[in-house]
Amino acid sequence: MKKNLKILSLLMLTGIAATAQQPMSLNDCMQYAVDNSLTMKIVQEQNNQTQTSRRDAIFDAFVPSVNGYVSAGFVSGKNPDPATNMYTDVKMFQDNYQISGTMPLFKGFQSINNLKISKNAVASGQSMEQLKKDNLCLTTMQAYYNVAYYQRLATIIAAQVSDAEKMLEKSQKELQLGSKSRYDVLESESLVSELQYKLAETEAQHNAAIILLKQTINFPMDKDLTIDTARIADYADREMIDAQSVANYAKNNLPEIVISRYEMEKSKLQLKTARFQCLPQINLSAGWYSMHSMVVGKFDEAQPFRDQIRYNAQKSIGVNINIPIFNGLGYFSNTSRQKSAYKIASYEFQEKQREMEAAAYKAVDEVAAAEKAAFHAQKSSELQKEYREITLKKYQQGLVPYIEYNTVNNKYLQSTAEHLNAVYLLHIKRAIADYYNGKSYINN
């Protein structure tokens, strides 16, 4: 029964159980995360709001504002009699109609600067969406390789459990035949028990890693998720990339740099707007007004509605000039604040460039270190594997004690774990360095 459970566990870990879903590659997981992440949906909605603000800025700059006004009510006192046009003490019912429009001709370049700011905001929002996407892909990659690590490690340990159980069965048969002692059987049982414990521990860590991956990509928790580790390449040499070229690209083109640059340009435009607040504002206005009235109690004597509207109609068109003369220190204070904000944005942009440059150099350096670690970890794992196979044969022949074999086996498992960790870490470090050099995570 226990053996069947171990086989079932191995099948689940390797993703070949009949009920398991189609294994997902790294790109599949990253694409799923991008398509289903609530964080990405939030950013997209924020970009929709920015697009709306961009549209509003265009309308504010080029489209006049038009307002309509309608009122109706009773008035009493000295009013012109609609029939005689003479002032008399009457009570009347009046309704008024008005349409007016205003179009800015010059607002101190405020409209033009707002257009540029809204355009930058749209581009900045797109860069922010790309940044969120990149960060999500990197987080997914780390969670994916974490699952792959425990999955492959559990597969190796499960194979050892199977071999140890076969050795135990053999020892038990030889005990019955008298060729093995009870001590030998206890050694085999101890080995099986220890490996089963390691397998259970690794399976628990694998399950925790699966939950984290599901959470990262917003995958349903009640559904099975398996990954395709067959496509994950082991250590392989590749040509080193030039750190300086990577740094030059990173400090000028990464989404974080683009966002910071847009913020600096926004502050510069806001400073220009503040400086032009001392200029006059010119507006073109036009309007139409008319009214209709009836004397209370003489509704039948009133002139027709259409005639009154036509006769009482008034039209107006003109140009309004608003000249700022004095508003305390508001102009100087606002200009000073915007000037300081522009300097801060400039310093932050320069600091972001230095940060990205240092991160690029660090990424390239970490790739070199990870390649060395992966190379030596692979060699160590291969040697420990060969050493374990030789020791296992000697142990089966009774030439070495159980303690020595167990020590060798533990070293093999440790070296295998270090090799897997080094290889997966190398994949992540290479992907980060490629990202700083302009290559998207999701296409790696």
For residue 133, the model assigns a pLDDT of 92
**Dihedral sign of CA atoms 398, 400, 405, 411 in order:** negative
For residue 424, the model assigns a pLDDT of 92
Secondary structure tally for the chain: helices H, strands E = 10, 4
Nearest Cα to Cα of residue 102 among 347, 244, 291, 282: 282
Contact 312, 94 (CB under 8 A): no
Alpha-carbon dihedral of residues 134, 139, 143, 144, nearest 10 degrees? Answer: 0
In the three-class reduction of DSSP (H, G, I as helix; E, B as strand; rest coil), residue 294 is classed as: strand
Contact 432, 138 (CB under 8 A): yes
In the three-class reduction of DSSP (H, G, I as helix; E, B as strand; rest coil), residue 27 is classed as: helix
Low-confidence spans in the chain with pLDDT less than 70: 1-21, 78-85, 108-109, 235-237, 301, 328, 444
Q: Are strands 65-80 and 314-322 parallel, antiparallel or unpaired?
A: unpaired
pLDDT, tens only, 284-336 = 888 898 888 887 777 776 778 888 888 888 888 988 888 777 776 777 888 88
For residue 134, the model assigns a pLDDT of 92
Beta strands in 42-178 (DSSP E): 65-80, 87-106
Strand partners, 74: 93
For residue 108, the model assigns a pLDDT of 63
77: region left, alpha or beta (phi > 0 left; psi from -120 to 50 alpha)? left
Contact 30, 234 (CB under 8 A): no
For residue 6, the model assigns a pLDDT of 47
Q: Measure the N-to-C terminal CA separation of the chain; round to a whole number of Å.
A: 43
**Dihedral sign of CA atoms 429, 433, 434, 436 in order:** positive
pLDDT, tens only, 341-354 = 999 999 999 999 99
For residue 191, the model assigns a pLDDT of 83
Beta strands in 140-257 (DSSP E): none
Contact 40, 136 (CB under 8 A): yes
Alpha-carbon dihedral of residues 340, 343, 349, 351, nearest 10 degrees? Answer: -100
Contact 125, 47 (CB under 8 A): yes
Ordered structural domains, the chain, with CATH:
2-71+106-282+326-443 (1.20.1600.10)
For residue 2, the model assigns a pLDDT of 45
182: region left, alpha or beta (phi > 0 left; psi from -120 to 50 alpha)? alpha
